[in-house]
């Protein structure tokens, strides 16, 4: 069986993500690998799939018992025999597993590191008697002092290579920094490992920072748009997690608190409730989350400022593991930053304090950005990224309007006084009372001369173009274009009509998230049946099937088992076990509502692309959109297929205009080129919003972005 066949058969997925395929090949060839992939990127599959293909046993080291259980449940449900050994089991249960291992009935064995090499444990001797074929070390940064989560017991793992010199080892982490990376390699004694660094971008997460004012009310507003969704709210202090959880419960939300000060039973209980969707909201300190694999977390809120970008990014990364659109919302106040400064100082260690303060400073900068937040994050992780992601609050900013009637009257009367015989520059200079000799002497005697001195030249320019766009003025087509009144100008001058202008200051609009059209009622029905199945199997619902899989079913309405098999997430075993149950729900819903299968509009399964190993894959997501575009798909189709907004896809395509691989004419009509170029020359290309405003409704952001990319193209 090839890796792609196994991917489909056991996991029900159609294509590899990131560099999964190259990583898997490296292991199948017997080499070591170090894998850096963001949270939710799909690390587990990198060793689970080879484990299925290789003869013998794969040992997986993982730091958390909760995580092991989750993964083992998932694997078993997919028909892959897996087990874990840990202190939560009684000796009988442990013996069962030992017997299973001896009989060669288990493909993957999960272990906590401390179990393995402890002196009284003979586990390692036992494992050496088994046909071990692969060793996987999850959360490998725990071995490094440089990482943010050092665990001394991980140091014992350095014995692996001496005990199993010929067995390939894969180390995986979501921490990207170079020191940690080198440390992992050294401490695990990896042999000439292939290093795979995936893009750290999480395109389905949108980032928003809001001022921390009335934050409780803001939070309630936000939550009211996420009534049925699971989410995590991070607070700085233990006390505030409990207070906020209690307040939210009073508002009718199912919320629990989680922090390191709670006793183990309470922690385990609260976490379990969250995993099983009995509690939608977890209000937690950063103690919560590592090893939480729950794939349908729809949002992560930071109620207080995080201490550094690393932590923030990891915490936000817990949203949207299923690939569906998800949100990260942070409340920022300067007061928080000030408070954290005191915490950042490490007594008696100036060097450490300096590093912590710098990290805090970078965090604050992120909150105060006027440019794309995703770009900042990617640059922070040393990854190139275009300057407009289309799905952070800065990129989605819209302009506020104000009453500009008086300004409009001044502008129009200037045009009138000058007998409609001058161009914009002259009229503006005239309004601003320019002393220049370019302004005719007789004009300097007019009453309107200098009535607009309080407005800057650039602002006047923006107002004039808005007046033109709104039809209150027109510009002649002559060699020396002049401003003329229109038949609507009079109403303004007489005060019969108001004019609105756009303020330079911005307000963010809610991130518009694009999901393909689906049957909402059916989705609810599917969730209900999934919930029942999960209860029967005694596992969290997302282990049965992810939300993404349910959404696909509610979108494409498969009517037969074969059609159901082409829904992503249905492996062979799941199809056999649960296919019928889901199919019944879909067919009866379809009959009731007169709907038929839409499966033919689902894309044909893409042939797996073979990628060169060892390359860093920055720009892969852009490339994926571009390839789809080249295959003849429209931007809307690509957006739906990739669960990204059309704006994001446009941005992706624009990056290929910049590299010269795509012709700007594919996105912009020829007659629109020059006006956009002119605007870019006048207003710069740092931000697109002002250009859009100057150019008006006749020009889309995509067209502007395309020309700007073209202007910046690598020549």
* Binding residues vs Zn ion (CB under 5 A): 372, 374, 389, 392, 395
Other beta carbons within 10 angstroms of residue 34's beta carbon come to: 23
Out of Zn ion, ligand ADP, none, which partner does residue 40 contact, by CB within 5 to 8 A per kind?
ligand ADP
State which residue, 108 or 473, has the beta carbon closest to ligand ADP: 108
How far apart (Å, rounded) are the C-alpha atoms in residues 82 and 357? 44
* Contact status, residue 171 vs residue 195, Cβ threshold 8 Å: no
Task: Give the closest residue to 620 by CA, choosing from 46, 16, 94.
Answer: 16
CB of 374 to Zn ion, least distance (A): 5
Provide, rounded to whole angstroms, the least separation between the CB of residue 378 and ligand ADP. Answer: 18
Nearer residue to ligand ADP within complex by CB, 13 or 313: 13
Closer CB to ligand ADP, 113 or 320, in the complex = 320
Comparing CB distances to ligand ADP, the nearer of 20 and 413 is 20
Distance CA 413, CA 657 (A): 44
Nearer to ligand ADP, 37 or 77 (CB): 37
**Beta-strand pair 169-173/33-36:** parallel
Pick between residue 44 and residue 375 the one whose CB is nearest to ligand ADP. 44
Nearer to ligand ADP, 394 or 539 (CB): 539
User: Shortest distance, CB of residue 494 to Zn ion, whole angstroms?
Assistant: 44
Closest separation in Å from C-beta 323 to ligand ADP: 7
Residues that bind ligand ADP (CB under 6 A): 13, 16-17, 20, 37, 39-45, 293, 295, 321-322, 546
Q: Which is nearer to ligand ADP, 27 or 483 (CB)?
A: 27
Provide, rounded to whole angstroms, the least separation between the CB of residue 373 and Zn ion: 6
Sheet with 255-258: strands ordered across: 205-211, 326-332, 297-302, 230-234, 281-284, 255-258
The DSSP call for residue 355 is H
Residue nearest to ligand ADP (CB): 42
Which of ligand ADP, Zn ion, none interacts with 308 (beta carbon under 5 to 8 A by kind)?
Answer: none
Q: Binds 194, which of Zn ion, ligand ADP, none (CB < 5 to 8 A, cut-off by type)?
A: none
Picked from Zn ion, ligand ADP, none, the partner binding residue 295 (CB below 5 to 8 A depending on kind) is ligand ADP
Question: Which does residue 154 bind out of ligand ADP, Zn ion, none, counting CB within 5 to 8 angstroms by kind?
Answer: none
**Two tokens at 210?**
């809001």
State the nearest-atom distance from the C-beta of 514 to ligand ADP, in Å. 19
* Of 314, 386, 41, the residue nearest 204 (C-alpha): 41
- DSSP strand pairing (108-111 vs 82-85): parallel
Nearest partner of 21 among 33, 42, 48, 3, judged by Cα = 3
From the list ligand ADP, Zn ion, none, partner contacted by residue 372 (C-beta under 5 to 8 A by kind): Zn ion
Cβ neighbours of residue 551 under 8 Å, at least 6 residues apart?
A: 324, 515, 518, 523
Q: Which is nearer to Zn ion, 24 or 654 (CB)?
A: 654
Are the C-beta atoms of residues 306 and 315 closer than 8 Å to each other? yes
- 21, 198, 449, 550, 586 from 529: Cα distances, Å: 33, 36, 75, 11, 11
26 binds, among ligand ADP, Zn ion, none (CB under 5 to 8 A by kind): none
CA dist 450 and 620 (Å) reads 55
What DSSP element (H or E) covers 49? helix 44-53
Q: Which of 271, 375 has the CB closer to Zn ion?
A: 375
The tokens for 482 are: 């002049």
Distance CA 165, CA 128 (A): 11
Shortest CB 37 distance to ligand ADP, Å: 5
The tokens for 663 are 């012709």
CB nearer Zn ion, residue 395 or residue 649: 395
Q: Quote the least distance from Cβ 45 to ligand ADP, whole Å.
A: 4
**Rounded least distance, CB 73 to ligand ADP, Å:** 13
Residue 502, φ and ψ in degrees, nearest 5: -95, 130
Tell me the closest approach of the beta carbon of residue 40 to ligand ADP, in angstroms: 5
Q: Of Zn ion, ligand ADP, none, which one does residue 374 interact with (CB within 5 to 8 Å by kind)?
A: Zn ion
Q: Which does 392 bind (CB under 5 to 8 A by kind): ligand ADP, Zn ion, none?
A: Zn ion
* Close Cβ partners of 306 (under 8 Å, ≥ 6 residues apart): 234, 286, 312, 315, 330, 363
Smaller CB distance to ligand ADP: residue 322 or 429? 322
395 binds, among ligand ADP, Zn ion, none (CB under 5 to 8 A by kind): Zn ion
Helix (H, G, I), strand (E, B) or coil at 474: strand
The item of Zn ion, ligand ADP, none sharing an interface with residue 322, based on CB under 5 to 8 Å by kind, is: ligand ADP
With respect to Zn ion, which residue has the nearer C-beta, 25 or 374? 374
CB nearer to Zn ion: give 68 or 395: 395
Beta carbon of residue 19, minimum distance to ligand ADP (angstroms, whole number) = 11
**Residue whose structure tokens are 């007594």:** 347
Write the DSSP string, 554-590: HHH---SHHHHHTSTT--HHHHHHHHHHHHHHHHHHH
Burial 156-177 (b: 16+ CB within 10 A, else e): bbeebbeebeebbbbbbbbbbb
Tokens of 639: 């957006």
Tokens of 638: 């690509």
Least Å distance, CB 636 to Zn ion, is: 20
Cα–Cα dist 51/27, whole Å:
10
**DSSP code for 392:** B
Which partner, ligand ADP, Zn ion, none, binds residue 300 by CB below 5 to 8 Å per kind? none
436: left (phi over 0), alpha (psi -120 to 50) or beta: beta
Shortest distance, position 205 Cβ to ligand ADP, whole Å? 13
307 binds, among ligand ADP, Zn ion, none (CB under 5 to 8 A by kind): none
Q: How far is the CB of 322 from Zn ion (least distance, A)?
A: 22
């Amino acid at each position: 069986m090839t890796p792609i066949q196994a991917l489909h058969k056991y996991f029900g997925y159609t294509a590899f993500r990131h560099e999964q395929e190259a990583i898997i090949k490296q292991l199948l060839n017997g080499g070591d690998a170090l894998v850096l992939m963001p949270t939710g990127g799909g690390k587990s599959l990198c060793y689970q799939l080879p484990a299925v293909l290789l003869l013998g046993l794969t040992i997986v080291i993982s730091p958390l018992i909760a995580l092991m259980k989750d993964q083992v449940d998932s694997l078993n449900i997919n028909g892959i025999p897996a087990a874990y050994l840990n202190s939560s089991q009684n000796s009988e249960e442990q013996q069962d597993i030992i017997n299973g291992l001896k009989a060669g009935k288990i493909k993957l064995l999960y272990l906590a590191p401390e179990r393995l090499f402890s002196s009284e444990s003979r586990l390692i001797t036992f494992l050496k008697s088994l046909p071990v074929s692969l060793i996987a070390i999850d959360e490998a940064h725990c071995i490094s002092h440089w990482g943010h989560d050092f665990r001394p017991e991980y140091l014992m793992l350095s014995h692996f290579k001496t005990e199993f010199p010929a067995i390939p080892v894969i180390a995986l982490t979501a921490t990207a920094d170079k020191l940690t990376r080198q440390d992992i390699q050294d401490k695990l004694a990896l042999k000439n490992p292939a290093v795979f660094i995936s893009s750290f971008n999480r395109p389905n997460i949108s980032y928003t920072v809001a001022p921390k004012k009335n934050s409780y009310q803001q939070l309630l507003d936000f939550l009211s748009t996420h009534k049925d969704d699971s989410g995590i709210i991070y607070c700085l202090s233990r006390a505030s997690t409990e207070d906020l959880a209690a307040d939210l419960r009073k508002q009718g939300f199912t919320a629990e608190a989680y922090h390191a000060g709670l006793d183990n039973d309470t922690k385990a209980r609260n976490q379990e409730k969250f995993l099983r969707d009995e509690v939608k909201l977890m209000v937690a300190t950063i103690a919560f989350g590592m090893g939480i694999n729950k794939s349908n977390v729809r949002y992560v809120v930071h109620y207080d400022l995080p201490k550094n970008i690393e932590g923030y990014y990891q915490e936000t990364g817990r949203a949207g593991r299923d690939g569906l659109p998800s949100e990260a919302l942070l409340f920022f106040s300067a007061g928080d930053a000030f408070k954290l400064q005191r915490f950042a100082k490490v007594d008696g260690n100036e060097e450490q304090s300096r590093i912590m303060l710098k990290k805090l400073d970078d965090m604050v900068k992120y909150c105060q950005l006027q440019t794309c937040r995703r770009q900042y994050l990617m640059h922070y992780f040393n990854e190139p990224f275009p300057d407009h992601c289309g799905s952070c609050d800065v990129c989605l900013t819209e302009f506020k309007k104000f009453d500009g009637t008086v300004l409009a009257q001044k502008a129009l009367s200037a045009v009138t006084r000058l007998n409609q015989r001058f161009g914009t520059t002259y009229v503006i200079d005239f309004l601003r009372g320019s002393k220049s000799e370019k302004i005719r002497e007789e004009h300097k005697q007019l009453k309107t001369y200098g009535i607009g001195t309080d407005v800057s030249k650039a602002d006047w320019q923006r107002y004039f173009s808005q007046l033109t766009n709104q039809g209150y003025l027109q510009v002649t087509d002559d060699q020396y274009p002049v401003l003329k009144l229109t038949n609507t100008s009079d109403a303004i001058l007489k005060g019969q009509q108001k004019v609105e202008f756009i303020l330079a200051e911005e307000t963010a609009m809610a991130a518009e998230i694009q999901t393909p059209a689906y049957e909402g009622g059916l989705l609810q029905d599917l969730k209900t049946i999934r919930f029942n199945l999960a209860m029967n199997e005694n596992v969290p619902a997302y282990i049965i099937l992810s939300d993404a899989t349910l959404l696909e079913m509610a979108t494409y309405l498969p009517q037969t088992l074969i059609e159901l098999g082409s829904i992503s997430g249905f492996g062979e075993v799941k199809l056999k076990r649960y296919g019928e149950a889901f199919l019944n729900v879909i067919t009866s819903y379809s009959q009731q509502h007169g709907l038929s299968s839409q499966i033919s509009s689902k894309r044909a399964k893409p042939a797996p692309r073979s990628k060169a190993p060892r390359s860093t894959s920055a720009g892969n997501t852009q490339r994926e959109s571009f390839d789809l575009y080249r295959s003849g798909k429209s931007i809307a189709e690509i957006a739906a297929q990739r669960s990204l907004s059309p704006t994001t896809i446009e941005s992706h395509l624009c990056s290929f205009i910049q590299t010269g691989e795509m012709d700007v004419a594919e996105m912009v009509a020829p007659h629109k080129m020059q006006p956009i170029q002119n605007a870019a020359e006048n207003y710069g290309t740092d931000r697109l919003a002002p250009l859009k405003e100057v150019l008006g409704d006749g020009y889309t952001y995509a067209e502007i972005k395309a020309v700007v990319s073209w202007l910046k193209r690598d020549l």
